Amino acid sequence: MLVSYRWLQELCPVEADVAEVARRISLAGLEVESIEEKGHNLADVVVAEVRAKNPHPKRDNLTLVRVFDGEDELDVVCGASNVPEPGGRVLFARPGAVLPNGMEIAARKVGGVESSGMICSEAELAIGSDAEGIFVMAPDSEPLPGAPVAEALDLHDFILDVGLTPNRPDCLGHVGIAREIGVLFGVAYRPRKAAGPRKAFTAEAVFETSQPTIELAPLWDSVADLDDPPTLPEISVEIENGDRCPRYGAALVSGVRVAPSPFWLRYRLHNLGLRALSNVVDATNLILLEWGHPIHGFDLDHLRGSKVVVRLAKDGERMSTLDGVERTFSTDDLLICDGERPVAVAGVMGGLDSEIREETKDVLIECAYFDPRSIRRTSRRLGLHTDSSHRFERGVDPEAVPQVLASAAGLIAELGGGAVATTAIDRIASPREARTIRLRPSRAAQLLGTPVSAEESLRILKSLGCSIVEQGDAEIIAEPPSWRPDLQREVDLIEEVARVRGYDEIPTAVPRVHPSETGTPGLVKTVDALRDAAVTAGLYEAINYGFVSTEDLRKARVSTDAVRLANPLSEERAVMRTSLLPGLTGAAARAQRHGASAATLFEIARTFEPSGDALPCERTTLAIALAGQRRGWIGGADPFDVYDGKGVLAAILDRVFGRVPEVVPGEVPAFMHPKRSAVVTLESRPVGFVGEIHPDVADDLELIGRVVYAELDVAALYGLAEELGPPQAQGLPKFPAVTRDIAMLVREEYSAGEIAGALATASKGLAESVSLFDLYRGGQIPEGHRSLAFRVTYRDPEATLTDKQVDKVHASLAKVARDRFEATIR
C-alpha cells in the first residue's frame, strides 16, 4: 500500500523524519519496503508568465509563445492547444533542466524557429497523468514567475510502500497508519473533524421518517444552513439480508457540479497510484485512502423507485459494472438495488447505469459494512478484485460509518459546490457484538520472556483504543476497538504489547536443550537418512501443499475418500492429500512446461486418510518422479524408463539400509502402467512399487511423455530395518572366485529375478552372485520366448574351488533351469 508521509503528518504530527517513522513502524510489523521522495528532481522547472503568443510562421499546429521566467523573456515553440492568453501562468523547463523521464532540455530550432526551453504538461513532470495539454495554473494562483515549481505547487512529499499482512485491515487507510504512529511515538492521536460544507439543509422530507437517522452536523468543524433547501424525492433503505450487510449508511449532497478536481487532490491521488477522474469520484477515492473504508456515489436521478435495497441476487440476474462488462450473478452474490434493478455489486464495484457523470446534480453516498466472507466469495467468483473488495474482504470498521459519511459529504460539497443534508440514514440490521478479552501480565511475561507490568499493559491497551472493562494486578479485561477485528484472544493482546514495546526489547537467549532419554526417534532418523540418500542419488526435493482438490485426486486415479477441510483457502486446497502423486507430478509438469529437459524429483511427506476417529490416519511416504530424458555421455539422451527408477531406489536403499531391493511382478495401484510396473521388495517383503504412470493418467495430469514414478512405505522400511538390524560388514575373501556363464531359452512368463534366485539357491551357498548380463528377443527366438544369460560367481569361503567342484555345481544349476523353468540351455 502506498502511503503519503505528508498526509500522515497532517493526521498525526510527530517530531521525527521519514526514515525514523519508517523504521519504527517496520519494527512494529508494518514493513516499509521502499521510500520515494517526490518533488525533489525538478530543478530549473519554474513558474512562467505568458507575455505573448502567435501562430508559428511555418507550422499550423504549433504556437510561438513568449514567456517570462522571472529573469528573462524567452521564445518557446509549443504544440499544445491550451496555451493561455497573455498573463496566464504555466510550468516552464529552462534550458539545461532534466525532466523526471531523463529528457534534457536544450535550446533548439523547431520549424526554423529557435525554442529556448519547454512548456510542460503534468505527465512530463510526473506530477499527474494528464498529457493532453500543458499545465495551466489557476488564474488566482499566488506564485510569481520564477518560483520553483516544487514550491509553487507544494510538491514535496515522501511516498512509503508499506507491506501489510492480511490481519491488519485497519492500516489500509492513512487514518489507521497515523493511529499506529501515534501509539508508537506516544502522541495522542485524535481523528480530525471533517471539513464542514458551506451549505447544509435538514433532510426530514428527503429520508423517510421511518428510517433510522443520524445527524452529521456534530461531526463537521462548521456548517452553514441553506435558506432555500432543494426539493428531493423521499429515499428509503431496506436490508433484506442482515447477516451479509449488518450496517448500511447513506448521505445526500444536492446541487453539485461535476468538474475536474483541483491540483492538490489530483497530485495526491497520482502519488498514491490512482488516476483522477472528476471532483466527485476523486473525493470518494480520497476518502477510501484516508479511512480505508470504501464508499460509493450514486447519481440520485438514476435510482428508480426512490429506494435502496440490499439483497441477494436472483440466479442468472445481470448487470453491467463500471468497467463496462455485463456480469451474471448467482444467488450467493450480494447486490445493491434500487426499486427495480441492481445498481452495484455490494463491496466490489458500482453499476454502469447509476455512475457519476458530467450532468449529475444530486449524489447519494453509500457507506456500509459488509460481511467479509460474502465479499470474498463474490469477488473471486466474478474474477473482480478491486480496491473496495480488497478492504471489505479483510474487514472495515463498522462503527466508522457516521464519520466516513460526514467526511465524504463535506468533501464532495466542498469540491462540487453542493449542499449537504445534515441528516443521514444509518440502518443497522445486525448490531456489532462487543467482545472482551482477558490479559494476564504474568502470562505475557511468560510468553515474551521478559517482565511485563500491569501498568505498562494498561497503558498500551488504552493507546491502542481498547476500552478497559476491569483492571487489576493479576488481569485486565479489555474490549478491543471496532477497527481491530484481528484482536480475538489473549495472545493477540500479548503480541500487541510486544509490538508497541518493540520486538528488539525482547531479550535474546539461547534456550536450554533438555536431552531426550531415548534420543531422536528412529523413524525421524530414517526419514533424514532417506532424504540425504535421495539427494546423493541426484534427485531434487519437492515440497508441496498437503491440501489438494478432489479433482486433483480424481485425475490421479487415487482415493477421493479424503479428509475435507472445514474452512479451505479455496476449492484447489479443499481436501487433504491421500497420495503424493498429484503434487509431485504437478511439479514435474510445471518443469516440463517451462522447458526443462528432465525433472528428477522426490518428496518425503505424509498422506492422510479418514480413520473414523477425530484424527486422520497418517502415512509417511517417499515418492520419486523421473520425467524427460536422462543425460547421455556424449550428447545422447534417452527417455527415463523403469530401470532408471529401479536404479535410483537401489542407490537410496543400499545407502541407508545396506541392502539392495528386488523388483518382482505384483499388484500395483491403478494409476500405474499394468505391464511396465512392479512391486519393490526388500528381503522378500513388499515395501513399495515402481514403474511408468498409466498413459491416460499422464494425459490427465498434463505430463509430457512417459514418466517413471515410485513410492516406498517409510514405516515399512523402518520396521524391517529394526527387525533385521544393521547390515554386518563382511571380511575380505581369502580365496579366489570362479566365474561361469549360463545362457538359456525360456518362456516370457518366467521372470529373470525368479530364475536368478532359483540358481542361487541351487548352488548350495557357493554362488556369491547371480546377475543377468544379456537379454535377447527376436531373430530365431520363438515367439513368446526370450534368451537370458546369467553370470554366476562361485567362491568357497573355506578353500579354493577346483574346476571339478565348479563343473558339478554349475551342472546342477542347469538342471534346475531345465526342470523348473522348462529352459533350453544354450
φ/ψ (deg, to 5) at 379:
-60, -45
pLDDT at 209: 67
476: left (phi over 0), alpha (psi -120 to 50) or beta: beta
Check residue 632 and give its pLDDT.
66
Last residue of a domain, one of 428, 452, 476: 428
What is the value of pTM for the model shown?
A: 0.70
Give the residue from 495, 478, 475, 477 showing the smallest Cα distance to 486: 495
Q: Which residue ranges of the chain lie beneath pLDDT 50? A: none
Looking at the fold, whether 593 and 683 belong to one and the same domain comes out as yes
Which of 155, 173, 206 terminates a domain? The answer is 155
Domain that holds residue 450: 437-504
Pairing of strands 540-541, 598-609: parallel
Strands (E), 498-542: 540-541
Strand spans (E) along 69-106? 73-78, 89-93
Would you say residue 15 lies in a domain? no
Does residue 398 share a domain with residue 278? Answer: yes
Residue 9 inside a domain? The answer is no
Residue matched to cell numbers 485486565: 476
Q: Is residue 37 included in any domain, yes or no?
A: no
**The CATH number of the domain where 776 resides is what?**
3.30.70.380
Query: Largest Cα–Cα distance of the chain, in whole Å?
Result: 130
> The C-alpha cell of 385 is what?
478484485
Check which CATH number belongs to the domain holding 462 and give it. 3.30.56.10
Q: The CATH number of the domain where 324 resides is what?
A: 3.50.40.10
Based on the fold, state whether residues 389 and 462 are members of the same structural domain: no
In terms of Cα–Cα distance, which of 429, 238, 262, 261 is closest to 338? 238
CB of 252 closer than 8 Å to CB of 362 = yes
CB atoms within 10 A of CB 614: 5
Is the domain of 339 the same as that of 232? Answer: yes
Looking at residue 249, the DSSP 8-state letter turns out to be E
Identify whether residues 569 and 611 lie together within a single domain.
yes
Cβ(159)–Cβ(3) under 8 Å? Answer: yes
Q: Is the residue at 179 inside a domain?
A: no
Whether residues 570 and 704 fall in one domain: yes
456 & 551 share domain: no
Q: Is residue 585 domain-shared with residue 706, that is, in the same domain?
A: yes
Residue at 28 is within a domain: no
Alpha helices, DSSP H only, in 204-340? 263-271, 279-291
Give the chain's length.
Answer: 826
Residues 255 and 376 in one domain: yes
Rounded to whole angstroms, the Cα distance separating 332 from 349 reads 16
Are the CB atoms for 742 and 814 separated by under 8 Å? Answer: yes
| Residue 732 within a domain | no
The grid coordinates listed for 411 are: 468533501
- Radius of gyration of the chain from Cα atoms? 39
* Residues 238 and 321 both lie in one domain: yes
Based on the domain organization, do 677 and 748 belong to the same domain?
Answer: no
Question: Angle 642-657/714-724 helices, nearest 10 degrees?
Answer: 40
Three cell numbers written together for 70:
522571472
Residue 788 is predicted with a pLDDT of: 93
CB contact burial 216-244 (16+ within 10 A = b; e otherwise): bbebbeebeebeebbebeebbbebebbeb
Number of domains forming the structure of the chain: 5
User: Do the Cβ atoms of 360 and 256 come closer than 8 Å?
Assistant: yes
CA dihedral 222, 228, 232, 238 (to 10 degrees): 40
Is residue 449 situated within a structural domain? yes
pLDDT for residue 634: 57
CA distance 114 to 56: 11
Helical segments of 12-103, H only = 18-27
Q: From CA 363, how far away is CA 360, in angstroms rounded?
A: 7
pLDDT value for 254: 93
Q: 607: which strand partners?
A: 619
Q: How many CB atoms lie within 10 A of CB 245?
A: 23
Q: Which residues pair with 771 in a beta bridge?
A: 791
Per-residue model confidence (pLDDT) at position 635? 57
Asked if residue 273 is part of any domain, the answer here is yes
Write the CATH number for 110: 2.40.50.140
Label residues 683-696 b or e (16+ Cβ within 10 Å = b): eeeebbbbbbbbee
Cβ atoms of 755 and 709 closer than 8 Å: no
Indicate whether 337 and 469 sit together in one domain.
Answer: no
CA gap 652, 712 in Å, rounded: 11
Nearest to 356 by CA among 392, 320, 322: 322
| The three three-digit cell numbers of residue 664, written as one number | 518382482
The last residue of one of the domains, among 126, 155, 184, is 155
